[in-house]
C-alpha cells in the first residue's frame, strides 16, 4: 500500500507485494546539508546552502527549505541568493562528507555484498541473497533507513523495484525520508503517469522534441509508434526510451566499475582573460589529473579540455594520443594545444576543466624512444615526496607565481 501527499511525494505505508523487487536504490537526503546540521542543529528548518561564497560560487547542496524557493544544486550562488535572500550559506566540509559516506556504505555492505555506489550519497543494492538473513526487500528497506538514522543521525530515501531504473525513480518520489515499493506487476501503472523527464536520458533538448510530438508523460512515450519515435530522436534513443517507458532495464547491480575518466575543473572568482593566467590554471589541473592517474595505476589515451566562457557558453575539445599516458606534462601539452585552437584575444573564461579518457589499467610500457621519460621520472619523484609530506610541497615553478589568479574551486558530487 502506498499513499501520495499533497506534493509529488509518494511512500509505502503498509503491506505490499515485494516478492519480485530485489533492487533497492538508497539515496541520502540533502546529504551535504544534513551532515552540516549534525553539528549545527540550530539551523534545522531553515534554508541552508552548501557551496562557494565568492562571486562565482556554485551551490553544491540545498536544504529542502531552500528548494522551495527554486534553489537547486549546480546553480550559481548569486542566483540562488536572489531566489532565497535569507538563505544561510556554509562553505562545506568534504572530509566529513566522505567519512559519513563511508559509514553509510559500510551499512549497505553489512546487508549484501551486491552494492553499486553511484556517488558519494547513493547506491544500488541487490538483496536477492539477503532475504534469508534479513527479510523481504521492504523489510530490508525499513531496516536500512532505521540503521542509517540511528548510527549516523542522517536520513535516507529508498526505492524498491524489479529494476534499477524503476527503483531510482521510486526513491526520488519518496523524498525526503521515505520509502516506496513498486510491485513488479504495478511497474507500468507507476511509470506511465509520470512526466517524460522521469526517463533517463531525457534532457531539455530531447524533452522539447518529444513535446513537439505531443508527448507529455511516460505513458505517451510507451504508446508512441516506434518509427515515429525514431524519426524524432533516432533509432538508439527510441529503443532506449521505449524500453524504459515499459520499465524494462536489464542492467544488474555491478559491485566494481572501472573509472571511465579522471578529471578536475575549477570555477574562478573572476573571469580569466590573460592567456598566461589561463595556462597556469591549465597546468595546475593537468598536474592533478596526472597525479590521480598515477595513484590509480591508470593511463589515459584522450585528453579533453572544457571551457566555460563568461556568458556561460561551454565547449569541449579532445585530442587522442598515439600512446596512453599518465604524465601531467603530456596532458598539459595536449590541453594547451586544444586551447590554442579556440582561445581568442579578449575571451573571458569562467571555468576550465581537464579530463583524461580512454583509461587503461595495464602497466605502461614506454616505446623504445620515450619523449616523456624525463618528465615521467620527475613526476614520480614528486609523487614520492607527496606520499610522505603531502601534495603541494613540490610543484611546477609556474604555479608558485600569481597566486591571486588561483580560482575558488568546489567539488560537486551529485546531490538529490
- Binding-site residues, in ranges, read 27, 121
| Residues sharing a CB contact under 8 Å with residue 99, sequence separation 6 or more, in sequence order | none
List the catalytic residue out of 122, 281, 288, 416. 122
Compute CA 405 distance to the chain's CA centroid, rounded to the nearest angstrom.
Answer: 27
Among this protein's residues, is 122 annotated catalytic? yes
| Residues sharing a CB contact under 8 Å with residue 6, sequence separation 6 or more, in sequence order | none
| Residues sharing a CB contact under 8 Å with residue 192, sequence separation 6 or more, in sequence order | 217, 218, 219, 222, 245
Distances (CA, A) of 105 to 23, 26, 61, 301, 413: 16, 10, 20, 32, 16
Q: What is the C-alpha to C-alpha distance for residues 223 and 252, in angstroms, rounded to an integer? A: 26
Nearest to 286 by CA among 347, 356, 383, 338: 356
CA dihedral for 57, 59, 60, 63, sign (positive or negative): positive
Q: What are the cell numbers at 161?
A: 523495484
Binding residues for Mg(2+), by number, are 27, 121
Q: What is the C-alpha to C-alpha distance for residues 109 and 255, in angstroms, rounded to an integer? A: 10
Q: What are the cell numbers at 342?
A: 579556440
Q: What are the cell numbers at 281?
A: 590554471
Q: What is the C-alpha to C-alpha distance for residues 48 and 380, in angstroms, rounded to an integer? A: 42
Q: What is the C-alpha to C-alpha distance for residues 167 and 116, in angstroms, rounded to an integer? A: 13
Catalytic machinery residues: 122
Amino acid at each position: 500500500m502506498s499513499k501520495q501527499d499533497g506534493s509529488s511525494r509518494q511512500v509505502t505505508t503498509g503491506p505490499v507485494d515485494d516478492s519480485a523487487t530485489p533492487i533497492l536504490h538508497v539515496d541520502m537526503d540533502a546529504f551535504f546539508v544534513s551532515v552540516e546540521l549534525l553539528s549545527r542543529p540550530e539551523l534545522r528548518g531553515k534554508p541552508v546552502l552548501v557551496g562557494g561564497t565568492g562571486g562565482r560560487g556554485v551551490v553544491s547542496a540545498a536544504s529542502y527549505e531552500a528548494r522551495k524557493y527554486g534553489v537547486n544544486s549546480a546553480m550559481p550562488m548569486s542566483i540562488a541568493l536572489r531566489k532565497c535572500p535569507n538563505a544561510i550559506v556554509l562553505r562545506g566540509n568534504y572530509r566529513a562528507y566522505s567519512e559519513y559516506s563511508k559509514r553509510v556504505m559500510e551499512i549497505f555492505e553489512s546487508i549484501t555484498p551486491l552494492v553499486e555506489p553511484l556517488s558519494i550519497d547513493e547506491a544500488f543494492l541487490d538483496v536477492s541473497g539477503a532475504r534469508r538473513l534479513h527479510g523481504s526487500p521492504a523489510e530490508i528497506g525499513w531496516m536500512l533507513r532505521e540503521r542509517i538514522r540511528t548510527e549516523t543521525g542522517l536520513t535516507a530515501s529508498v526505492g524498491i523495484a524489479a529494476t534499477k531504473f524503476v527503483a531510482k525513480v521510486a526513491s526520488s518520489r519518496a523524498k525526503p525520508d521515505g520509502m516506496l515499493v513498486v510491485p513488479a506487476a504495478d511497474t507500468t501503472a507507476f511509470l506511465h503517469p509520470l512526466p517524460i523527464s522521469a526517463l533517463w536520458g531525457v534532457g531539455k533538448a530531447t524533452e522539447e522534441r518529444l513535446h513537439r510530438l505531443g508527448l507529455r508523460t511516460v505513458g505517451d512515450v510507451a504508446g508512441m509508434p516506434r518509427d515515429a519515435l525514431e524519426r524524432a530522436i533516432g533509432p538508439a534513443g527510441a529503443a532506449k526510451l521505449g524500453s524504459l517507458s515499459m520499465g524494462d532495464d536489464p542492467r544488474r547491480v555491478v559491485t566494481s566499475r572501472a573509472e571511465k575518466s579522471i578529471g578536475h575543473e575549477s570555477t574562478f572568482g573572476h573571469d580569466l582573460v590573460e592567456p598566461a593566467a589561463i595556462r597556469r590554471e591549465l597546468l595546475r589541473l593537468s598536474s592533478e589529473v596526472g597525479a590521480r592517474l598515477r595513484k590509480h595505476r591508470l593511463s589515459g589515451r584522450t585528453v579533453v579540455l572544457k571551457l566555460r566562457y563568461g556568458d556561460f557558453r561551454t565547449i569541449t575539445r579532445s585530442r587522442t594520443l598515439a600512446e596512453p599516458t599518465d604524465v601531467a606534462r603530456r596532458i598539459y601539452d595536449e590541453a594547451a594545444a586544444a586551447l590554442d585552437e579556440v582561445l581568442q584575444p579578449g575571451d573571458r573564461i569562467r571555468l576550465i576543466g581537464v579530463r583524461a579518457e580512454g583509461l587503461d589499467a595495464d602497466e605502461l610500457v614506454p616505446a623504445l624512444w620515450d619523449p616523456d621519460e624525463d618528465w615521467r621520472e620527475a613526476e614520480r619523484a614528486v609523487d614520492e615526496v607527496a606520499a610522505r609530506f603531502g601534495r603541494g610541497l613540490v610543484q611546477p615553478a609556474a604555479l608558485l607565481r600569481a597566486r591571486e589568479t588561483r580560482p575558488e574551486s568546489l567539488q560537486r558530487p551529485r546531490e538529490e
